[in-house]
Amino acid sequence: MATVSLKNLVKKYGNLEVVHSINLDVKDREFVALVGPSGCGKSTSLRMIAGLEDITGGEIHIGDRVVNELPPRQRNISMVFQSYALYPHMTVAENMGFSLKIAGRSQAEIDAAVADAARTLGLGELLERRPSQLSGGQRQRVAMGRAIVRKPDVFLFDEPLSNLDAKLRMQMRTEIKKLHAQVQSTVIYVTHDQVEAMTLSDRIVIMRDGHIEQVGTPDEVFRRPATRFVAGFIGSPTMNLREATVDDGKLVFGNGDTLPLPAEFRDSVTAGQKVVFGLRPDDLYPAGHGIHSGEAADVHTASVPVTITEPLGNETLVFVEFAGDDWIARMLNPKALQPGEKIDLSFDLSQAHLFDAATEKTLRR
């Protein structure tokens, strides 16, 4: 069990800097997800923690040790790879017991540990098979078994579910969560899938272009995104984000359409300021079909035409035209709408976000 801290961590390939001096403290037994689009530096950071990449600058602490110069084997970590990275010539049992064998443990001890892990992961019947005889989900489970057998200080997951199909991914997600509850270890989990990050982690680290954009609980990054990027990245369907200008208590969009300035931001903007207005589809709905059932404090209603609809059964995503652009609204208890039909659209402005157009930082205080 251990904490992990990154202090001013930098990674350069030649002259190209891909991780720009990031800082992060992971608490003991915490589940932290690093999430971001591909090329944001999340995997590189994880591989630096694992010791598979050299550290260009800064320090990594695991527990109270600086591990910069330690090879992976001395860091007491284990890692689950996207491609499983099982040893093809070893059986499942040998794969899982390999680290203990290398550590020179007795065969009895190895067998016990492997049996224990196999029980946790439901791999009992597969112990004598080889990886080539397993399905993707089973291979991933073996990879996790290999990780837990050695009882490391820190688990590192590098996009472990990306190679699985959607259904299996959901199932394994639940298993990883259960596993973490059982083994009570520090976990750093890299993914590009914000749903995985939201569902699994205690805290989410959102990265972009080698910088950390925001660190927070799933609730924090969802409800109070610190930057325009986080607002757009977290949540599905994505938040409606549109540029506007502040003018006398109003937000004026490019084509002249206006919305009242949300009360929360009244004191944090000045007239003429360029801002980005953000509103999740959950907070934009045909009147009477919203989540907040009309009790929200600050609802503005406008009459807008429907462009298209995407019915999902329990709800319908309605694309509406407003401010010269398509906005996504979410309609609960859906009823049929025709393209071109004008509807009363409710904007729940108490849930709105405003970002400075230039710095892209939130204007929330």
Partner 1 sequence: MRGWKPAPHVLLLLPAVIVLAAVVILPLLLSLYSSFTPFRLTRPDSIYTFIGFRNYQRLFTDKEFWIAFGRTVLLLTVALNLEMVLGLLLALLVEKATRGQRLLRTIMMFPMMFSPILVGFQFKFMFNDNVGIVNNALQSLGLTDRAIPWLIDGQLAFTSILIAEIWSSTSVFAIFILAGLMAMPREPLEAAKVDGCTPLQSFRYVTWPFVMPFAFIAMTIRSLDIARAYDIVKIMTDGGPAKRTEILWTLISRTAYSDARMGLANAMAYVAILLSILFTVMFFRQLAKARQQIGAEW
**Which lies closer to partner 1 via its Cβ, residue 43 or residue 346?**
43
Counting contacts by CB under 8 A, is residue 69 touching partner 1?
A: no
Q: Which residues pair with 294 in a beta bridge?
A: none
Counting contacts by CB under 8 A, is residue 195 touching partner 1?
A: no
Residue 327 phi, psi dihedral angles, 5° rounding: -115, 150
Q: How far is the CB of 81 from partner 1 (least distance, A)?
A: 5
Sequence length of the chain is: 365
Counting contacts by CB under 8 A, is residue 138 touching partner 1?
A: no
Counting contacts by CB under 8 A, is residue 126 touching partner 1?
A: no
Q: Which stretch binds partner 1 (CB under 8 A): 125-133, 224-232, 313-321, 330-338?
A: 125-133
Binding-site member from 17, 30, 68, 81 for partner 1 (CB under 8 A):
81
Q: Which residues contact 27 (CB under 8 A, 6 or more apart)?
A: 3, 186
Binding-site member from 51, 160, 262, 278 for partner 1 (CB under 8 A):
51
Give the 3-state secondary structure of residue 110. Answer: helix
Counting contacts by CB under 8 A, is residue 130 touching partner 1?
A: yes
Counting contacts by CB under 8 A, is residue 52 touching partner 1?
A: yes
Residue 270: name the closest of 186, 209, 357 by CA: 357
d(CA 113, CA 87): 18
Q: Which residues pair with 275 in a beta bridge?
A: 244, 356
d(CA 335, CA 168): 33
d(CA 57, CA 19): 10
Buried b (16+ CB within 10 A) or exposed e, 241-253: bbebbbeeeebeb
Q: How far is the CB of 158 from partner 1 (least distance, A)?
A: 9
Crossing angle for the helix pair 136-149 and 92-102, to the nearest 10 degrees: 20
Give the 3-state secondary structure of residue 236. Answer: coil
Q: How far is the CB of 89 from partner 1 (least distance, A)?
A: 4
Q: Which residues contact 73 (CB under 8 A, 6 or more apart)?
A: none
Binding-site member from 13, 23, 73, 237 for partner 1 (CB under 8 A):
73
Q: How many chain residues bind partner 1 (CB under 8 A)?
A: 27
Counting contacts by CB under 8 A, is residue 16 touching partner 1?
A: no
Q: How far is the CB of 4 from partner 1 (least distance, A)?
A: 15
Counting contacts by CB under 8 A, is residue 77 touching partner 1?
A: yes
> Using alpha carbons only, how large is the chain's radius of gyration in Å?
24
Binding-site member from 32, 33, 93, 131 for partner 1 (CB under 8 A):
131
Counting contacts by CB under 8 A, is residue 256 touching partner 1?
A: no
Among residue numbers 87 through 106, which ones bind partner 1 (CB under 8 A)?
Answer: 87-89, 98-99, 102-103
Counting contacts by CB under 8 A, is residue 72 touching partner 1?
A: yes
Q: How far is the CB of 177 from partner 1 (least distance, A)?
A: 23
Which positions lie near partner 1, rule CB under 8 A?
50-52, 71-73, 77-79, 81, 83-89, 98-99, 102-103, 130-133, 146, 150
